[in-house]
Each structure stands twice: as structure tokens, then as C-alpha cells.
């Protein structure tokens, strides 16, 4: 059998497994299996690529360098994947995603350097892939820096949106020039430099409240860039993988934006930041503090408790303690379930992953649409480090930056207990009216410590 036919047949089989793996990832029960399938398919695609006859029919070149690159990159990824804490998973996803976009842009740069991308269609696709991939790479690096705490502030230029538009127009104009003059080294350098700067300037003003949507959007950009470069190289595996990632990332971005009731354009051009969050009506009242003993009593002698995890739980690594507390309550006859908002945490599914790691059964983890009607019947809504996703001004204050965003109705429970490290407004900078509600009590401190104290008091009540 001809080598090219064999490789293409293998790529087709890999594409089928990719799609089946993606389908399996749609359910928590089969997600791990889907990831394993997709991983094996990627390994197979990589190995089969070494049999590719190449454009000149003489097979692949620089195999030693390719093997070395795979070994170094694979070792680094394996080590970092083993060592990364669950709280750091969002920034790991961001930087890995950025590497994909950067690799796609680098492929096009190499094709330009070799003089391979000279046909108008191929050059056009290479330019588009380079632009999208460069933006995804530098934007993901900024997202990583924000999530890692390296860049703690948002920076917004005067006339930021006008600057964004001008830079984008100039980048497109340079790309059009390159299509006509692919050998122009100066234009290529200016194009790549401007594309990388555009990713920085687009992402820098975006605050933590919008970060889950940004990560998902940049993931879609990377997929599109990889797909375009697959066309440039004539590689079906890259085309399929890129299209699948681009399409799934785009759909996820739309779902995340819908969950925040914010058009994607608003996320990019009107981000919620600490400065932007100054809008909205002034919150009146006072925060009322409670103790771990009182919190334990309210939950232990109630009939239903709804736990709402947020990034504060992730930072404290308290998911195991939270599940231990839930098990104690259930042993005492108290129904205990978990309510998840689509944008809780720093990336899509962040809270689901943490709870699954702690061993919480999937049937106890409920989405916003499934759980909201139950809050009025709940004795206690326990909020652990969440902010915007339980802020009732999203329903009532038309001047608030988050007005219209679907929220978890924690304020409608009989009692609400909020575990929070301090009295600050949270990552987005928006004051939370829930904290001042008559039925809300604040339990200050690390989620790990607070839950441990609650567990101690529940056990003491059982022994009494």
C-alpha cells in the first residue's frame, strides 16, 4: 500500500476517535474515557506522521530534531501535569492552549522562510492562521500571568477600543501585503510583531470576572489557527483536530457568554474590571458575622443544605473537607447537594473538577437550571468563596455591570452562610448585596479552616 494512502487512512481513523472522545467528554461518567481515547489517537497520529512521504517524496527530514522536541516537550508536559495543583489548573490550561496557537504561527513562519507558502490561497491561509495563532499565544500568556498572580492589575489604555481596532486593521493590511509579497522579510517581521502585540493589548484590560470566557475564546482561536495551518501543510490530522477544537471552543465560549448574559464582543471591548465595576447602586446595610458553631448548628438541625463552591474553595484546597462535611450532614439525615454556576472559578468546569477529585458523586452536583427552584426550600445555602455568581444585584440593579446575568438564588434560601477570607469586594471588584442581606451571615477565614471547624462542631453534636 502506498505510504500516503496508509497515512491518510490512519488520519481518518484518528479523526473518528477524536470525535468519539469529544462526545464521551460531554458526560462526567465517560469524560475520563474520552480523554484517554483522544490521547491515544494523538499518539497514533504523531507516530504515523513519521511515515509521511513529504512534498518531495523522499520522506520526513530532521527526524532526530523532531524526536528530541517531542521528548523534551512530552517530559515537560508530563512533569508539570503531575506537579500542578488543582487551584493552578486554569493557568495551566491557558498556557498550554497558548503553546498550540504559538506552534501554529511558527509553522506558518517556517513555511514563509522556506518559500513554500507562495500560492495565493496557501499564503492567505498561512497569514490568517498566523494572525489568529499569534493573538492566541500572546493573549494566553497574559491570561496565565493574570491567573498566576504575576499580573495582578488590569491595564486599560485611553481610547482602548479605538487602539484595538486600529491595530487589527493594520495587522490585516500587513497580512494582505504579505499575500502579494510573501518574500518581504520586513513585512513578515512587522506582521508577527503586531499580531503578538494585538493579543497582549486585547487581553490586558480583561479582569477576572471575564477570564473563563477569555480562556475558552483563546482555545477556539488556537483550534482555528491549527486548522488553517493544516491546510497550509496539507495535513488532514491537523485540519480535523483544529476544526474540532475550534468548533467546540466556539460553542463553549457562546455558552459561557450566555451564562454571564454578556455578548462576546462586550467581554473583549467592555470587560468587567475593578474600575469598571464601580457602576451600580450603593449597597446599604451591614455584614453580620457568625461563628463556626452557629453555622454547624444551622446545617446540622436543618433538612436541606445547598453548597455553592467558588474560587475561594479552590484556593484553600478545601474540596475534600467540604465533602467530608457533606457526608456527616447526610449521615445525620440532612440532604446536602452542590450547586454549580457555569462560570464559577477561573475556567469552565473548574468547580466540577475539584468536586469530582474529592469524590463527590455526580448526581449531587447540580447545574444552575437544575437547582435554582430548590433554594426557597433550603434551610441553608452555604457559599464558599463565590461572589458574582450569587450576587442578587444581577436581578435588581440595571446599572450594575452584571445586570441580567443568571445567578444562583442563594439569597432566597431560609438562611445563607458565606465563607470568605475578608470583607473585600471579590476578584471582579463588584460589591455583593447578598453579604448585607438580613438572612445572610459571614464566616470569615480560609475555607479549609472554616470547614474544619464546622466539621469539629458537627461531630461534637453527634457525640452529645
Active-site residue set: 388
Alpha helices in 115-184 (DSSP H): 120-148, 160-180
The C-alpha atoms of residue 148 and residue 120 are separated, in whole angstroms, by: 41
In this structure, what DSSP letter does residue 339 have?
E
Q: 276, 274, 281, 310: which is closest to 389 by C-alpha?
A: 310
Q: Count CB neighbours of 187 within 10 A.
A: 16
CA distance 152 to 274: 11
> For residues 322 and 299, what is the distance between their CA atoms, to the nearest angstrom?
13
Q: 410 with 276: CB under 8 angstroms? A: no
Cell triple for 129: 492562521
All cell numbers assigned to 183: 518574500
Q: Do 52 and 4 touch, CB atoms closer than 8 A?
A: yes
215 within 8 A of 142, measured Cβ to Cβ? no
Whether the Cβ atoms of residue 319 and residue 313 lie closer than 8 Å to each other: yes
Per-residue b or e along 386-406, where b marks 16 or more CB atoms closer than 10 Å to that residue's CB: bbbbbbbbbbebeebbbeebb
Name the nearest CA neighbour of 461 among 323, 325, 335: 325
The DSSP code for 364 is: G
Residue 380's SS3 state is: strand
**110, 188 Cβ separation under 8 angstroms:** no
Cα–Cα distance, 60 to 364 (Å, whole number): 52
* Pair 450, 296: CB distance under 8 Å: no
Amino acid at each position: 500500500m502506498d505510504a500516503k494512502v496508509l497515512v491518510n487512512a490512519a488520519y481518518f481513523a484518528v479523526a473518528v476517535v477524536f470525535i468519539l472522545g469529544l462526545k464521551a467528554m460531554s458526560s462526567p461518567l465517560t469524560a475520563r474515557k474520552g480523554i484517554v481515547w483522544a490521547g491515544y489517537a494523538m499518539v497514533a497520529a504523531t507516530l504515523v506522521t513519521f511515515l509521511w512521504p513529504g512534498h518531495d517524496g523522499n520522506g520526513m527530514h530532521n527526524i532526530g530534531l523532531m524526536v528530541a522536541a517531542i521528548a523534551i516537550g512530552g517530559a515537560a508536559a508530563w512533569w508539570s501535569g503531575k506537579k500542578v495543583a488543582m487551584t493552578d489548573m486554569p493557568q495551566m490550561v491557558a498556557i498550554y492552549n497558548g503553546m498550540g496557537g504559538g506552534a501554529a504561527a511558527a509553522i506558518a513562519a517556517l513555511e514563509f522562510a522556506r518559500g513554500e507558502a507562495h500560492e495565493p490561497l496557501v499564503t492567505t491561509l498561512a497569514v490568517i492562521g498566523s494572525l489568529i495563532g499569534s493573538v492566541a499565544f500572546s493573549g494566553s500568556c497574559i491570561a496565565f500571568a493574570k491567573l498566576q498572580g504575576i499580573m495582578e492589575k488590569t491595564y486599560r489604555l485611553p481610547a482602548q477600543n479605538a487602539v484595538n481596532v486600529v491595530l487589527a486593521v493594520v495587522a490585516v493590511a500587513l497580512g494582505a501585503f504579505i499575500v502579494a509579497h510573501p518574500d518581504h522579510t520586513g513585512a513578515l517581521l512587522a506582521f508577527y510583531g503586531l499580531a503578538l502585540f494585538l493579543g497582549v493589548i486585547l487581553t490586558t484590560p480583561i479582569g477576572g470576572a471575564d477570564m473563563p470566557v477569555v480562556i475558552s475564546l483563546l482555545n477556539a482561536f488556537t483550534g482555528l489557527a491549527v486548522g488553517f495551518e493544516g491546510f497550509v501543510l496539507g495535513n488532514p490530522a491537523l485540519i480535523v483536530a483544529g476544526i474540532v477544537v475550534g468548533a467546540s471552543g466556539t460553542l463553549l465560549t457562546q455558552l459561557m457568554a450566555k451564562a454571564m448574559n454578556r455578548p462576546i464582543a462586550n467581554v473583549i471591548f467592555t470587560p468587567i474590571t475593578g474600575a469598571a465595576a464601580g457602576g451600580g447602586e450603593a449597597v446599604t446595610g451591614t455584614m453580620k458575622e457568625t461563628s463556626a458553631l452557629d453555622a454547624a448548628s444551622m446545617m446540622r438541625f436543618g433538612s436541606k443544605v445547598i453548597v455553592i463552591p467558588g474560587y475561594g474553595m479552590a484556593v484553600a484546597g478545601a474540596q475534600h473537607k467540604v465533602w467530608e462535611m457533606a457526608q456527616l450532614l447526610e449521615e445525620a439525615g440532612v440532604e446536602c447537594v452542590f450547586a454549580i454556576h457555569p462560570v464559577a472559578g477561573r475556567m469552565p468546569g473548574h468547580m466540577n473538577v475539584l468536586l469530582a477529585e474529592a469524590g463527590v458523586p455526580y448526581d449531587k452536583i447540580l447545574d444552575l437550571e437544575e437547582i435554582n427552584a430548590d433554594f426557597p426550600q433550603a434551610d441553608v445555602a452555604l457559599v464558599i468563596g463565590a461572589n458574582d455568581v450569587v450576587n442578587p444585584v444581577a436581578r435588581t440593579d440595571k446599572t450594575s455591570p452584571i445586570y441580567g446575568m443568571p445567578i444562583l438564588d442563594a439569597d432566597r434560601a431560609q438562611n445563607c452562610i458565606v465563607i470568605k477570607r475578608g470583607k473585600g469586594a471579590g476578584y471582579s471588584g463588584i460589591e455583593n448585596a447578598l453579604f448585607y442581606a438580613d438572612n445572610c451571615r459571614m464566616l470569615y477565614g480560609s475555607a479549609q479552616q472554616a470547614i474544619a471547624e464546622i466539621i469539629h462542631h458537627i461531630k461534637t453534636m453527634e457525640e452529645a
